[in-house]
Structure 1
Amino acid sequence: MPLDVNALRAHFPSLTSGVAHFDGPGGTQTPSEVGEAIARTLTGPLSNRETITEAERNADSAVQDFRQAFADLTGSQPGGIVHGRSATQLTYDFSRALAKTWKPGDEIVVSQLDHDCNVRPWVQAAAQAGVTLRWLRLDPSTAELDLDDLDEVVNERTRVVAVTAASNLLGSKPPVARIAERAHQVGALVYVDGVHYAAHATIDRTALGADFLVCSPYKFLGPHCGVLAADPELLKTIHPDKLAPSTNQVPERFELGTLPYEILAGATAAVDFIASLAPASGTRRERLLAAHHAIEEHELRLRGRIEDGLAGFGDRVTLHSRAANRTPTLFLTFADRDSTDAYRYLAGRDIAAPAGTFYAYEPAKVLGVEAGLRVGLAPYNTDAEIDRLLEGLDAFLG
């Protein structure tokens, strides 16, 4: 099923501005269906969640629909879907809840490939609990994790392995299933940052080996929030701090305070929009699989066009995204020009490709860069926009 990009773009009011958006890794543009779902829910009738009045039922439906949509998206069960303000907030909450069971001699493993939201919460929790921190190392020459010492780093003392499914800086997709297999052999839990990955591939949490997986709907056409997926039986074993009168049921025990029902409805609408890109037959999960297959083909073809164009710039441009298996996200630096200047120059041509390190603190340290230009593709990008990007870079480089 080829992706009909022109038909898809018609659903995005912001794209009429003429700006070519290569800033999807920081947050995609949003289709009108998502905004309409938010407005429709927010303007109600709406009240706190119950089942007596219409307003209460609307709130309850928003929650139940959200849990089912993200169960379909992640290959999980609705009872294992937790809403959070962001992936960062969820990871802080779960790292602290899990740390209650750690004891001296335990070890926590993090990676040098990850966004800091899947590093710093674990680093800080480990320090507070007095347990040992160990690292999966990034090889800057390949932009991949060096797993030669995996069996040593992940060992019988390991309690949690935190690793990304795809780097938001480099696009690298490490072999999460292999890492998870080793972790499970020694009885460790696996916490996967799927924020960047979820924008470019259908998630199968079980196949990845992720005991916990977080993602952020605003990275794939939805509103700003975070989602955690896990097995409900696993969630029952975790006891977060909460208010005394609040429910102890899973997954509600992890959702502190009244939920933003309108945001949940918008996130559900984003999942439905992606599913709508596939033929109308089959379950939502089946349509999501088909839609993501078409999206991936489209995005990787465009990535190839960008890479071919960058090759023509020779040593004036360094492409740090070089892993064999990666998303359509490219991180660039320039031999004798500042990346922030490139960002500003392109913005003046209505091309949005930001510069920075994008909270990927550890990989940026390993690469030895203070900032780079990140070019990230989304389903709505076109060949004409690729031409504009390459022409803009050529003009910038002189």
Structure 2
Amino acid sequence: MPYDVEKVRAHFPALHEGAAHFDGPGGSQVPDVVADAVAGTLRAAVSNRGSVTKAEQRAEQIVAEARQAAADLLGAQPAGIVFGRSMTQLTYDLSRTLAKQWLPGDEVIVTKMDHDANIRPWVHAAEARGALVRWAEFDRATGELPVEAISSLLSTRTRVVAVTAASNLLGTRPSIARIAPLVHSVGALLYVDGVHLTPHAWVDVEALGADFYACSPYKFLGPHLGIVAARPALLESLRPDKLMPATNDVPERFEYGTLPYELLAGTTAAIDFLADLVPGTGPRRTRLARSMQALEDHEHSLLTRLETALQGTRQYGSPTRDRTPTLLFNVDGVTPMEVYRKLATHNVNAPAGTFYALECARWLGIGDAGAVRAGIAPYTNESDVDRLAAAVRTLG
């Protein structure tokens, strides 16, 4: 069944404003069913989780449904789904928890490709424990992160390797499935930032070999929230700091305070929406596989169209199939911020900067000014791409 982008677009009230949105990597627009789920939860009687009142039961059901939905999306177990305020917050919390087991001279590996949310928490945790930070470098010319960049740094003192599943700046997708067994061979854990990959590809955490996989629903059409998926047995082995009366059950021991039930309901709705991007039957996990493949084909076609239309700009990274539909570019003689502002006058939203991938931008040589980033989303169509290209041509 072909991908019907106009049918998808009809579910996004924000598109009625007329802008062409290429700002999805920073936060996607939201379909009506997600907004309805959030609003419906806020209008309903919901209280702290329990089994006595209907309000308590409703809260329990919302949480259980959200864990199952996230598990279906990621190929994980519901008991291994941890919710938090953001991926950044969850990564800080888990880095501090894991660091309790580190000794001076232990090592953590981070990459110059990653968003700072998968760098700084590990750097700070290492500093607090006297551990060493080792940096994996990517190829500036191709924008690729070779497996050897990680494997060459591994040692018996390595405790954690933190690496992105897809660069939020370049779209590059490192080979996590090849990196994982190398990390595990030295007894280390693999923490994968899947924030930028999850909106664009079929994800199977077990197949990837990630010990921890972090993502953000607001990047895949949902509300602002963070998710980490891990094996329940691994979570059982960790002892995070928590309030004394708080449960010691997994995954709840990692979730501080009362969960945002309305956002969890919205997350479930977003995942259901992704599962039904193309018609089909079967379990949600099966429908997600079908829909995400159709979405990936659609988005790659648009990315190819955009790369061709923007020939003459300075484009970063390699134009390969194995990347997310994200194009980073600069226009000669025009600062990235000025390009951003001028595109906005054409009602085209394509922001500029480093997008918190500061180490990546500096290693590329584009510095703190960064570049313009055009991200393709499920609601992007050919007209959007052509509008962006036409607007860029006016800058010459």
Q: Structures share a fold, TM > 0.5? A: yes
1:148 and 2:145 equivalent?
Answer: no
Aligned in 2, Cα 1:129/1:177: closer, same or farther, shift over 3 Å? same
Give the SS at the match of 2:373. strand
Question: How far, CA to CA, are the matches of 1:278 and 1:80 in structure 2?
Answer: 28
Question: How far, CA to CA, are the matches of 1:344 and 1:146 in structure 2?
Answer: 35
- Which of the numbers 323, 336, 345 marks the counterpart of 1:348? 345
The 5 Å alignment of 1:1-398 reads 1-311=1-311, 313=312, 317-322=313-318, 324=320, 325-369=322-366, 370-397=369-396
State whether residues 343 and 353 of structure 1, in contact with CA within 8 Å, keep that contact through their aligned partners in structure 2: yes
**Deviation (angstroms), 1:359:** 0.1
State whether residues 155 and 183 of structure 1, in contact with CA within 8 Å, keep that contact through their aligned partners in structure 2: no
**Deviation (angstroms), 1:150:** 3.5
Question: How far, CA to CA, are the matches of 2:33 and 2:244 in structure 1?
Answer: 38
State whether residues 123 and 133 of structure 1, in contact with CA within 8 Å, keep that contact through their aligned partners in structure 2: yes
State whether residues 215 and 226 of structure 2, in contact with CA within 8 Å, keep that contact through their aligned partners in structure 1: yes
Give the SS at the match of 1:140. coil
Structure 2: which 5+ runs fail to align? none
**Deviation (angstroms), 1:344:** 0.7
**Deviation (angstroms), 1:339:** 1.1
State whether residues 74 and 203 of structure 1, in contact with CA within 8 Å, keep that contact through their aligned partners in structure 2: yes
Q: How many residues align?
A: 393
One-letter amino acid of the structure 1 residue matched with residue 374 of structure 2: V
Q: Deviations over 1:258-315 (max 9, x none)?
A: 111011000110000111123341110000010000100000000000111122x2xx
Structure 1: which 5+ runs fail to align? none
State whether residues 161 and 183 of structure 1, in contact with CA within 8 Å, keep that contact through their aligned partners in structure 2: yes
Aligned in 2, Cα 1:149/1:290: closer, same or farther, shift over 3 Å? closer
State whether residues 3 and 295 of structure 1, in contact with CA within 8 Å, keep that contact through their aligned partners in structure 2: yes
State whether residues 222 and 266 of structure 2, in contact with CA within 8 Å, keep that contact through their aligned partners in structure 1: yes
**Deviation (angstroms), 1:132:** 1.0
Q: Deviations over 1:322-357 (max 9, x none)?
A: 163211001111221111111111100100000111
Give the SS at the match of 2:213. strand
Aligned in 2, Cα 1:348/1:95: closer, same or farther, shift over 3 Å? same
Give the SS at the match of 1:133. strand
**Deviation (angstroms), 1:152:** 2.9
One-letter amino acid of the structure 2 residue matched with residue 21 of structure 1: H
- Structure 1, 142-151 or 213-222: larger mean CA deviation: 142-151
Give the SS at the match of 1:123. helix
One-letter amino acid of the structure 2 residue matched with residue 363 of structure 1: C
One-letter amino acid of the structure 2 residue matched with residue 395 of structure 1: T
One-letter amino acid of the structure 2 residue matched with residue 362 of structure 1: E
State whether residues 147 and 175 of structure 2, in contact with CA within 8 Å, keep that contact through their aligned partners in structure 1: no
Give the SS at the match of 1:153. coil
- Structure 1, 334-343 or 11-20: larger mean CA deviation: 334-343
One-letter amino acid of the structure 2 residue matched with residue 74 of structure 1: L
TM-score (norm 1): 0.97
CA RMSD, Structure 1 to Structure 2 (Å): 1.0
**Deviation (angstroms), 1:149:** 4.8
Question: How far, CA to CA, are the matches of 1:318 and 1:76 in structure 2?
Answer: 39
State whether residues 143 and 321 of structure 1, in contact with CA within 8 Å, keep that contact through their aligned partners in structure 2: yes
State whether residues 278 and 288 of structure 1, in contact with CA within 8 Å, keep that contact through their aligned partners in structure 2: no
**Deviation (angstroms), 1:133:** 0.9
